[in-house]
Amino acid sequence: MDSFEIMTDSSSNITPDLAHEAQIDIIPLTCMTAQGEMPCYDENKAFDGHAFYNALRQSGPIKTSMVNMAQFMHAFEPVVKAGKDILYVAMSSGISGTCAAARQAAGELMKEYPGRIIRVVDTLAASFGEGIFALKASVQRSARLSLDAATEWAENNKRRMCQFFTVDDLMFLHKGGRISSLTARIGSLANIKPLLMGDSEGKIVSCGKVIGRKKSLLALADLFDKHAEADSDEIVAIAHGDCEEDAQFLAAQLKRKRNIKDVLIRCYEPGTGSHVGPGAVALFFFSPTPCK
């Protein structure tokens, strides 16, 4: 059975150590900072989350740029030219045009290289909601599953991925165009913390609100208790915007509610982090049925 390459974008939150271990290639989005353009991923350099989020605290949101068709062509072509197929695990089409650009590039290259296959999975997710599918595909590849089998599994299970998150600064969400200025001001004064989720179309929607930071973290744990499988070896992951202690607190709450082996915790990568802001905490896990 032929093997295949696994690729995803930097929004997947897969860090260089995870990428190296799982043999996953990462295509970076781009951030537009005050110092100029910077890739959202560097395989040879660990991401300094504290420095990045401190800069955001001082300057506010920065613009990001998706991976375009030409960049996908550049990344995909050497692989298919070498005679290998590709599984590309894509960020949600509901929040970015990256998936569409990947599909355009795949279509062009499969015409140019007959017999080669590039599968593109729209995960309807971002951050670890996307990255977990790439990590899962790596395990499946090691178990000698075919490209088609790994693709089919992802397509059949992507709506079981639960993505819940909260943010610490409502004004930051407003600057990113998510809520109105008045809502942000009132919410900040009242210490209201929104609860948000990725919906079945891969878009970000509100799913509640609480008063106070600790209660927002406990609410995420309650959502896990409500939706997570009773016992599972599947990956549970947390991404955070430079608030490691809050992420660890949430992880401890999850372990009290379920018999889980471990929780994968990483700082939000810069592409997504620039939109959710410092203090964001997000939780990713599988549910037995589609997560709503």
Contact 136, 159 (CB under 8 A): no
**Confidence bin at 218 (pLDDT 50/70/90):** very high
Q: What is the mean pLDDT of residues 262-282?
A: 92
* pLDDT tens readout for residues 115-140: 999 999 999 999 999 999 999 999 99
**Confidence bin at 147 (pLDDT 50/70/90):** very high
CA distance 124 to 121: 9
Is the pLDDT confidence value at 172 over 80? no
State which amino acid sits at residue 202. G
Question: Can you spell out the DSSP letters for 85-135?
Answer: EEEEEE--TTT-SHHHHHHHHHHHHHHHSTT--EEEEE-S--THHHHHHHH
The confidence score (pLDDT) of residue 109 equals 98
Contact 76, 106 (CB under 8 A): yes
Residues of the chain with CATH 3.40.50.10170: 4-158
The confidence score (pLDDT) of residue 94 equals 87
The confidence score (pLDDT) of residue 180 equals 58
Residues of the chain with CATH 3.30.1180.10: 160-286
CATH architecture observed for domain 4-158: 3-Layer(aba) Sandwich (3.40)
Contact 188, 169 (CB under 8 A): yes
Contacts of 142 (CB under 8 A, 6+ apart): none
* pLDDT tens readout for residues 181-198: 655 665 666 678 888 898
CATH numeric code, 160-286: 3.30.1180.10
Q: Is 242 helix (H, G, I), strand (E, B) or coil?
A: coil
Is the pLDDT confidence value at 273 over 70? yes
Please report where in the chains the tokens 């032929």 appear, as a residue: 2
Q: What is the mean pLDDT of residues 150-175?
A: 87
Is the Cα torsion angle 131, 133, 139, 145 positive or negative in sign?
Answer: negative
| Torsion on CA atoms 112, 113, 114, 116, rounded to nearest 10 | -140
What distance lies between CA 31 and its chain's CA centroid?
A: 16
Q: Do the strands 281-286 and 237-240 form a parallel or antiparallel pair, or are they unpaired?
A: antiparallel
Is the pLDDT confidence value at 10 over 50? yes
Q: What's the mean per-residue pLDDT of the chain?
A: 90
Task: Give the lowest-confidence range in 62-66, 162-166, 220-224.
Answer: 62-66
Q: What is the pTM of this model?
A: 0.92
* pLDDT tens readout for residues 44-84: 888 899 999 998 888 877 788 889 999 999 999 999 999 99
The confidence score (pLDDT) of residue 177 equals 56
Give CA separation, 251 vs 87, 92, 237, 261, in Å: 31, 25, 9, 11
